[in-house]
Structure formats: C-alpha cells, structure tokens
Amino acid sequence: MSYNAIKKVFDLGDGRTIEIETGKLAKQADGSVVVKQGDTMLLATVVSSPEAKEGVDFLPLSVDYQEKYASTGRIPGGFLRREARLSDYEVLISRLVDRALRPLFPEDYHADTQVMISLISADKDIMPDCLAGLAASAALAVSDIPFNGPISEVRVAKIDGQLVINPTRSDLERATLEFIVAGSEFDINMVEGEAKEIQEEELVEAIKFAHEAIKVQVQVQRELAAEVGKTEKRIYSHEHSNEELKKQVYAATYDKVYEVAKSGSSKHERHQKLREIRDIFIATLGIEIDAVTESLIKKYFHDVEYDAVRNLILDEDLRLDGRNSKQIRPIWSEVGYLPAAHGSAVFTRGETQSLTTVTLGAKDDEQMIDGAFINGYQKFILHYNFPGFSTGEVRPNRGAGRREIGHGNLAMRSLKQVLPVEDENPYTIRVVSDILESNGSSSMATVCAGTLALMDAGIKLQAPVSGIAMGLITNPEGTKYAVLSDILGDEDHLGDMDFKVTGTEKGIVACQMDLKINGLSYEVLAKALHQAKDGRLHILNEMKKTIAEPREDYKPHAPRIVTIKIDKEFIGAVIGPGGKIIQEMQRETGATISIEEVNNQGIVQIFADNKASIDQAVTRIRNIAAKPEIGEIYEGKVKSIMPFGAFVEIMPGKDGLLHISEIDHKRFESMDGIFQVGDEVRVKLLDVDKQGKLKLSRKALLPKPEKPAQESK
C-alpha cells in the first residue's frame, strides 16, 4: 500500500523552517495535515457533515486541541493513566483557534463541523500553540469545506528589544510583550496576549509585524490546496428564505425597534419591548404559522435589531443606554465587603458587577500543572464564575466552561504583570471573581475588582490595573465607523469588534481582540487603542476613590508567612527520617512548614495564622540548622553518661563530649553521682575537631578557686 503525500516547506525568515504535509495520515477526514517544526508535530483534522440539521440557523463548530502525553515521553497521572478531559491550557489554545476560524465560515453554512488538533510529538523549546491555527486552517484548505480563508496564527514577542515570530520557549522568558495574532492575508481578526506596560504604538507595531508573517503562511496554504486540487468547495443550501416576508418584517417593525433602541431603557426592559414588537407582528399575520416561517421571522427581526442599533450609533452617536460613543457607564466600588475574607471587593459598572475575593495560602497551596507539554507549579491563581442569575437566566451549574476559563485567563494575565516580585511575595494567591450581574465585559470588571481586592488584602502591587472593552460599528460600505467605549452585551453581539484592553497608568499589560468583519485598518485600530486608554484611566481614577494603594499590612485574621534560609546539609535534619521531625513540629506548633532546595540552599516556609506558632517553629528550625560556634555558651542536656565523661546535647541532634576533666576545677575519680541523664547543664564549646566532634567544658564557666595562703617561714 502506498500514499501520495504532498509537502510544503517555508522559512520563518531566520533559518527556522516549518513543514506542512497532507495525504499521509487520517485520510478519511475531509481534510488532514501534519505541521512540523523541529521535533514538534501537530496533526490537524477537519470533518463537516454533508447536510445541516433541520432548524439549525448557526454554525455548530467545535474546535479541540489536545496534547498526547506520549509526545513528550510521559505517562499521564491519575488513576486511569490516560488522557482525560481537556486541561485549561488545552481549552485556551482551542479557543484561540476557534476565534480565528469562526468568523471566516460563510454566514449561511450550518453543518456540524469539527476541527481536532493533536500534539503528537513535542520539542520542549518549540511552543505548539502558535502552530495550532496554521494546522487547523491548512486542514480546511485541503478539504472541500466552504471557508473564506486560509488564515494563520503566529506568536509575536519583543525579546532584547527585537520583534520575533514564534520565539523559543526559553527566549520567551525575556519577552517584554507577547501576543498570539491571527488573520488572513488581508486582515487581522484575533489578538490575545500580555505585555509589560507598553504603549499603544508598540502594540500596533507588533501586530503589523505579525501580519507580515501571516501573509507568508497563508500563501503557502493556497499553494498546498492547489496541489491537492481542493480549490473548489462543496455546494450547499442550508437556509430557507422569503424575501416578501423579510420586507414585511422590516416595514412593520424597523421604526418601532429604532425608537426602543433610542429610549435608553435597561437591558431587561428593552428586551421585553422588543419581544412585544415581534409578537404583535406575528399576531397581525392572522394565520397559523409553521416552524419554518416562525424561524424566518425571528431571523429577519434580528436583522432589524442589527440595522436599527447600528444606524442609531452611526447617525446620531447614540447608544442603547443613552450614552455617546466615548462615555463610560457609572462606576461604584467597595473593598473589605466580606469581613472573613483575606481581601474582597465589589466592582460595579453599569449593569455589570463582580464580587471578588483574595485568599492567601502557603507553598503547599500552589496549583500543580500536569500537562504533556507544560508541567510545574504556579502560585497565582484566578478563577472566574458566571452563574445564570447574573443575566436573569435559569442555567444549571456544571462548573467552568470554555468561556469562563478564557475570561479568567485574560484577567489572570493582566494582574500577573503587577504582582510583587518573587522574593517580596511569599504567598500563594487565589483570586475568585463571581459575576453577580452581567451586561458587557465582565472580564474587565474582574480585572478591576481583582486589583481592588488584592490591594485590600495588603498585596503590594507594583501598580493598579483597570480594563475596558471597546467595540466597533461600521456601515456596509466601510466609509463610516464608530469606536465604542465600554460596550454593552448587545453592542458586542450586534457590533463588529470586541477589543478588551487592560493596563496601568504607564501602559498596556494585556489585550484580547475579536473582529467579526474584514478590513480593519491600522488607523482605526490605533484610534480604538487611544480611546481605550482614556477609558482605562477614567476607570482607574474611579477605583482610586475607593482605595488608592495597597494596605500597609495584611488583615489581622490573614495567615502570616516567614521564609528562612538554611544550609543545604540541614534539610534532611529538619525533615527527619520519613518526615518525622517536620511532622512533629507542625503538630506541636500548629504551623504549616514546607522546605525545598533552591540554588544549594534550603528554603523553609513557615505558614500560620498567629505569631506565636510561627515564632515557635522558627526557633526549632533555627536550632536544628544552626552551626555550633567555638566560644559560645549553650544550655545543654545530658544525653548519656560514660566512664570518661558525659555527652551533652547543646542543639537538636548535636551532642558534644563533656570530659570528666572539664566538669569542675577539682578532680573526679569517676562519673558516679555527678550527673543524671536529662540533667540540664551550662557548657562552653571549646573546639570542633576535623571529624566534627565537639569538645565542651563546664569548668571554663566556673570561677577558679583561690590558692591557699602560703605559711610563714
């Protein structure tokens, strides 16, 4: 049996090459490719059903990225020892690819479509996430599935002052900015990443640089599709239409919808009025309508909403809640709302509200990351929860979904940039944002509430961070546009862009952009960024009215951590055989103690909710790890008695010999009756020999007896 593989190779511009191959693996999928750079290999497949399901009026697209543990020569942990549900890291990469692909499928294509990307071989220094979008798009390119691509994704980073495409993992540690950028040969449609307080112009420059690399990768995919012979796509018909009904819906409802949009009513009131307009129109038809007609009416009515809201903004600079394009909704915030939490804040902007808590933990509370490609520990954790009641809906609580993971990650990346440096923060920090109300950009509310809660907890942030979501409305001709600050949920849904930007007073620390249209110019992008800066600074000033800087100290009930360093040789002594010593100390002091070796030193972290426990544990550890010093005086305890002297413990685990001749100035013939085991005795360390044996003296601490007076001659 043979196969007819087709391969394309291109250069990243610095001698590194990427290879795309099709026709060798997974040939029963509609499209499949293997993308390879170094030893990293991704298998991407795509399958789309021949027909759409009845009644489906959207694209049921699923994108899954999964890492095979065998790719890095590892066996999965856990009871089953096999790959399980996607990790948060895999979900985040899946979202990056999904957000890049989804806008480029035809609007009327509604067939079930599944994209699967698997890491099948891994080079530890070559990041697979920046290759996943290329692999997925290439699989679509060699299929007959309708797709207005190709697209690609690249990572752009600034390392040592230079912009680099797809840097190695080791080089990325020195980056001052790092973004994943996706787009076609003409436009950018997705950006996500973080930075160290950069300026707006620097971000635009990085995106332009990334786009040039994307153009090369798109052209390679076009050449691959041509060689495979898949330039013609399948014919489909997934939508019913009724132009006469569409005209009826527009004629009967547009003006009424426009007036509701212009009324500045609340979200729930507005939605209720719009439902009434639609239901009244259906009633005026005076006939029993079938499911297809009802579906068409809902679709056309949505189109009416879309046009009315956008025209209101473009023609009158008026938005659904009565604001103009640059205004920010009213803000109020409060810190210390939860008395038992280590830090807490409520942040409310318009109809969006976050209740955020901060919990301070010990090293043992660090989150373990056990992935095929990335594994280790992280001491800053942020979780985002979005319950149904926040939007007035009944929705089962099934744990965090992809949206929650993605929104939490954006907030985490933002706050991570301003945390204290490692040596100044001994805590594991968990931030939890519970969204209590939502009408636009709850992830940005999480950033703001997270900043306030961290400062309330006494964490010494380098600078406070705020965030804002920007929107965009354009006319069909592309001749008119409006950039919107602090968008509502409906403006996100009906608009052309969702651009979230977070930063300090000095610059941008993170951003996430999703674009739904073609043709965003860099001029408009720059305008959106500068308008976002004005909004961010306004929000930051409002936050400072509540708390301007971190509290001087932690809350009285917050746990305390002391970190001490000991010589490497004492690590075993602190732990004890089978952990006996450290467990005994934890049990008797009530403190939590962890120890690890770093740079040939033992780093001991002592964690407790009261000072007495910490002081007691510190004393015991220092006693174990202290080195006896010649000339020092110690309060010792007799451990054993021998004919020639007594062995006295002057520190935990450190015994010295108190020779019979060093007990007193007078001479003893034997040790009988001088000491009992357990007696306390004060001694001086005279010497430590080459074998480490300690020579003690009690006599040296006693006054010398006076010599008897000489008799007269």
Paired with 18 in beta bridges are 10
Q: How far apart are alpha carbons 490 and 266 in whole angstroms?
A: 11
**575, 582 in Cβ contact below 8 A?**
yes
Q: Which of 617, 648, 622, 647 is nearest to 635 (CA)?
A: 648
End-to-end C-alpha distance for the chain, whole angstroms: 126
Q: How far apart are alpha carbons 335 and 357 in whole angstroms?
A: 10
Q: How far apart are alpha carbons 285 and 256 in whole angstroms?
A: 17
Return the sign of the alpha-carbon dihedral for residues 23, 24, 25, 26: positive
Q: List the strands of the sheet with 466-474, edge to edge.
A: 162-165, 152-159, 175-183, 188-198, 508-515, 497-503, 466-474, 481-485
Distances in whole angstroms, Cα of residue 657 to Cα of each of 643, 684, 696, 699: 12, 11, 6, 13
**468, 387 in Cβ contact below 8 A?**
no
57 is in an annotated binding site: no
Q: How far apart are alpha carbons 492 and 468 in whole angstroms?
A: 13
Amino acid of residue 530? H
Q: How far apart are alpha carbons 318 and 493 in whole angstroms?
A: 17
Q: Give, as one character, the DSSP assignment of residue 710.
A: P
Return the sign of the alpha-carbon dihedral for residues 306, 487, 265, 385: positive
Q: How far apart are alpha carbons 216 and 151 in whole angstroms?
A: 10
| Chain centroid to CA 657 | 58
498 is in an annotated binding site: yes
- Classify residue 112 as exposed, middle or buried by CB count within 10 Å of its CB (0-12, 13-18, 19+): middle
3-class secondary-structure state, position 93: helix
Q: Which of 429, 690, 709 is nearest to 554 (CA)?
A: 429
Task: Centre a 10 Å sphere on the Cβ of residue 517 and count the other Cβ atoms it contains.
Answer: 17
Q: Give, as one character, the DSSP assignment of residue 264.
A: T
- Classify residue 635 as exposed, middle or buried by CB count within 10 Å of its CB (0-12, 13-18, 19+): exposed
User: C-alpha dihedral over 504, 507, 509, 513, to 10 degrees?
Assistant: 110
Residues forming the annotated binding site? 492, 498
Residues forming the annotated binding site for Mg(2+)? 492, 498
